[in-house]
Structure 1
Amino acid sequence: MVTVPVPPLRHQPLILTIYGLYGRRGGGPLPVSVLIEMLGDLGHDAPGVRSAVSRLKAKGVLNSVKNGGVAKYELSPRSLEMVSEGDERIFAPYRAAAGGPWVLAIFSVPETMRDRRHQLRTELTRLGFGSVSPGVWIAPSGVREGAKRRLAARELAEYVEFFTGDYSAEGDMRARVAQWWDLEELAAQIGEFMQFYGNSLAEWTAEVGEDPEAALAASTPELRRDAFRYYVPMLTLWRRLPYRDPGLPLEYLPEDWQGPEARRIFFGVHRLIAPMAEAHAMALVAKADAAV
């Protein structure tokens, strides 16, 4: 039996993960009762779930809809776009090659709009950009289009100009990258993931084998529930990392960098247990629909 880790995660990011996984396809808009049952599987009580849903609705992340006479919630169009964009970073990982092109994001914000300046810095950091100087930020060129879409959605695009090119100066790029990015913080986030999930691929392979189709076919309801309880928090913890690390070339990172091993583990476990987790989630949705 696989032991299910319990990373310290709040209601809201877990709810966003659930909607990203199950609220866009077969689940559609989800009633609060389903969210309560799903978050209950993850160890959270009903009042906390209701409060988190209310906050997400107030922020414009979720919209309420009537479906079959039942009040349900779905991702707002803006949130749906952001979740879809996130999939590009999470499930189609990009790793730049040494010597490849970079994108510069250069911004200038009037002094009277300091809040916009703070928003820009926050968004660029979340998108994986490093800071060369206060108004000049850098990332591998592969993140450019996603960054442009995100800043446009945040109504920040008018303050930023993007330029793509090569870095031609002499010097140690590993030292430059360590100067531009907070690698210690990123390493700590990777270390947190490894603390909870470093043995996950070996444990799940020992439990269900290496064939996800066979594992799903042979799974019991209890095993599918365990897969759900395991997968949703794991993905929630993981999804921050492909943003904070924008695919920096491994040659420019410390020699003991754990990123590639964390990525191997995540995608290996994702392949094995995501189908079982989805089967559990869709069974909860079907049960709620049948009760209406």
Structure 2
Amino acid sequence: MDKQFNTRSMIFTLYGDYIRHYGDVIWIGSLIKLLKEFGHNEQSVRTAISRMSKQGWVQSEKRGNKSYYSLTDQGRARIDEASKRIYKSESPSWDGMWRILVYTIPEDQRHLRDELRKELVWSGFGLLSNSCWITPNPLDEQVHRLIDKYDISSYVSFFHASYEGMSDPKSLVEKCWDLDEVNQKYSEFIKEYSEKYYIDKNKIEKGEISDGACFMKCAALVHEYRKFLFVDPDLPAELLPDQWLGDSAAALFSDYHKLLDGPAIRFFESVFE
């Protein structure tokens, strides 16, 4: 498996798809063994998990001379939010309201501004104008979590508002997000993965593919599809362009995931400790 899968985000994928369904905790040895399948060596796994621990996503505990890692509350909230979006069946419905977040973070805390910007993009906010972010989705809980995490309540104002013009909501969407580019990425995903899906379906039906290979393919599929969380703002159907491919990509992902899931779980359980 090529190294396009960076170790840290591969660990997130494994937590989201497997570890959280098995008591949420894994021995570092099992994690090293699983990631070895993807060409990651022991050192890169230890470095990545230690970074994730410093960033507050996971916590470690010693049992005898073994180290085990579990998600923190912050890590669990992130994984739950990601899973909800990855495994959703259709676009959310819209209440017609917009959420607006405005901040004024001092210049000497620029790193904080950069972190916040990344988090807002990940949650699906779009930049309307300097330091003014909007979303049609009810992300109040995520916003409050962010404000607590970065301790920035004194710098932030958060509104629920209706849009009174001067153009229609779809023009507002065009200002904040480049959905044509996202659609192009969905088109590429569909082309590449529908081909892989039919080849693997055929192989699985003939019994020509091992559990380990299915595990690798399944994790690679989730890993690739997860990238859309960083670019697709998950807008309600009313605000999407006419030829939107997000739903077709989601259906393909869901079918392919179901196809690989059984054997992938068998392989995971054989390694998991």
Does the TM-score normalized on the shorter chain lie above 0.5? yes
| Structure 1, gaps ≥5 residues long | 210-217
In structure 2, what is the equivalent of residue 104 of structure 1? 100
CA contact (8 A) 2:190 2:249 kept: yes
CA distance in 2, matches of 1:158, 1:234: 41
Matched, 1:248 2:244: no
RMSD, aligned CA: 3.1
Is 2:123 the counterpart of 1:127?
A: yes
Q: Which among 29, 32, 36 is matched to residue 36 of structure 1? A: 32
The C-alpha deviation readout for 1:211-250, integer Å capped at 9, x for no partner, is xxxxxxx979x53212210111221222232453232244
CA gap 1:149/1:89 in 2 versus in 1, 3 angstroms: farther
Instruction: Give the aligned partner of residue 69 of structure 2.
Output: 73
Q: Give the TM-score of the pair, scaled to structure 2.
A: 0.83
| Letter of the structure 2 residue corresponding to residue 33 of structure 1 | G
**1:225: which partner in 2?**
212
Aligned to 2:177: 181
| Change in CA separation of 1:156 and 1:92 when aligned onto 2, cut-off 3 Å | farther
2: CA distance, partners of 1:260 / 1:191: 11
TM-score, normalised by the number of residues in structure 1:
0.78
1:99-156 CA distance string (max 9 Å, x none): 8322222223234433333332222112111111113211123333333334433434
More moved, 192-201 vs 223-232: 192-201
Q: Which deviates more, 93-102 or 51-60?
A: 93-102
The within-5 A match list for 1:101-250 is 101-169=97-165, 171-183=167-179, 185-187=181-183, 189-191=185-187, 193-194=189-190, 196-208=192-204, 223-250=210-237
- Which stretch has the larger CA shift, 62-71 or 123-132? 62-71
User: Do the aligned partners of residues 150 and 95 (structure 1) sit closer, same or farther apart at CA in structure 2, a change above 3 Å counting?
Assistant: farther
Change (3 A) 1:225 1:25: same
SS in 1 for 2:21: coil
How far residue 50 of structure 1 moved from its aligned partner, in angstroms, is 3.0
Partner Cα separation in structure 2 for residue 170 and residue 128 of structure 1: 23
CA distance 1:81–1:251, shift in 2 (3 Å): closer
3-state secondary structure, aligned to 1:275: helix
Shift of 1:283: 1.1
Partner of 1:270: 257
* Whole-angstrom distance in 2 between the partners of 1:195 and 1:159: 45
* Alignment of structure 1 residues 6-85 onto 2, 5 Å: 8-26=4-22, 28-67=24-63, 69-85=65-81
